[in-house]
Amino acid sequence: MELEGYGADLEFMEPELRNYIVARAKSLLHVQKQKSGNYITKSPKKLPYFSSPIRAIEKEDLDFLKEEPNNNNSSLYLGKVRSGSKIINANVHINARDALTHHILIPATTGRGKSNLVKVMLCSLLESNETGILVLDPHDEYYGRNDIGLKDHQSSDYNLEYYSTTPLSVNPA
């Protein structure tokens, strides 16, 4: 709640009598910056103590996500980092070849941005001459026959093929 800006004066009612479960958390990765400027990652053995002080993540905390030089044009852009309701101006790129040679699962409940993430990934792939992908789009979420979509991307003329059993309507000139 403090990170979302509700104030530092928040308190637990009856802290000596109860614990309130707001969320369950599991640490997946501990990232530590060394004096040399390099980052090391390790699997944490325990969670921080209950009610440990916290601070908001800052862009500098995410320096390890910086896009590496892309000599083979195989970077896959995933978007910016989000922390709660705030978007941090840190771009996230992964190696497209490494990602696309594995299964990718994007789980979330309705309205959490799965389709938007896929759109961002597909737009990134349209800019690459090193990767290709087949999209089955029965609900026209991605191509955009009647709305903005992949067809409007600057690289769509030469990097996008669209097939449909229903022909696109042709606008008379």
Where do the structural domains in the chain lie, given as residue ranges?
30-159
Please, what is the Cα angle at 109 between 152 and 148, to 5 degrees? 10
pLDDT of residue 19 exceeding 60: no
Residue 48 confidence (pLDDT): 65
Q: Which two tokens stand for residue 73?
A: 């044009």
Q: Rounded distance, CA 106 to CA 142, Å? A: 16
Entry pTM: 0.63
**CB-CB neighbours of 96 under 10 Å:** 22
Q: Which residues contact 83 (CB under 8 A, 6 or more apart)?
A: 3, 56, 57
Q: pLDDT digit string (tens) for 39-73?
A: 777 777 776 666 667 777 888 888 777 665 455 55
Q: Rounded distance, CA 61 to CA 88, Å? A: 11
pLDDT of residue 172 exceeding 60: no
Alpha helices in 90-132 (DSSP H): 96-100, 114-126
Q: Which residues pair with 81 in a beta bridge?
A: 88
Q: pLDDT digit string (tens) for 108-146?
A: 888 888 989 999 999 999 988 778 888 888 888 899 888
The SS3 call for residue 105 is: coil
Q: pLDDT digit string (tens) for 90-107?
A: 888 888 888 888 888 888
